[in-house]
Structure 1
Amino acid sequence: MSVDPDKEFRPVNQILGTKPSLGPIPADQIFPWTIIALLSYLIVNGFFGAFFPDQWQKWLWTVLIGGWGIATWWILTGGKSWRFLGKFIGVPTWTRGTARYQSFLEFHYERKNRKTKPRHRRSRK
Structure 2
Amino acid sequence: MNKQRDRFRPVNPMLGVQPRLGPFPAEHILPWSVIGFAAYLLCQVFLNLGWLWTGVIAAWGISTWWILTGDKPWRFLSRFTRTPYWVRGYCTYHSILQTHRSHRHESKVRHKNRSHRAAAGQARSHRR
Measured in 2, the distance between the counterparts of 1:76 and 1:16 equals 26
In the TM superposition, residue 10 of structure 1 has moved relative to its aligned partner by: 2.3
Question: How far off is 1:43 after superposition?
Answer: 0.4
Runs of 4+ in 1 over 3 A off after TM superposition: none
Q: Distance in 2 between matches of 1:74 and 1:80?
A: 10
- The alignment of Structure 1 onto Structure 2 pairs a total of residues equal to 72
Matched, 1:48 2:47: yes
Unaligned runs of 5+ in 1: 53-57, 82-125
Are 2:10 and 1:11 equivalent residues in the alignment? yes
Deviation (angstroms), 1:80:
6.0
State TM-score, norm by structure 1.
Answer: 0.52
Inter-partner Cα distance in structure 2 for 1:34 and 1:41: 10
SS for the counterpart of 1:4 is helix
**Structure with a larger share of its residues in helix:** 2
RMSD: 2.0
The answer to whether the 8 Å contact 2:25/2:71 transfers is no
Please state if 1:76 is matched with 2:75. Answer: no
Deviations 1:5-64 (A, max 9, x none): 233332111111001112222110000000000000000012210xx4xxxxx1100110
User: Following the alignment from structure 2 to structure 1, what is the Cα–Cα distance between the partners of residues 21 and 5?
Assistant: 36
TM-score normalized by the length of structure 2: 0.51
Q: Percent identity?
A: 50
Partner in structure 1 of residue 52 of structure 2: 60
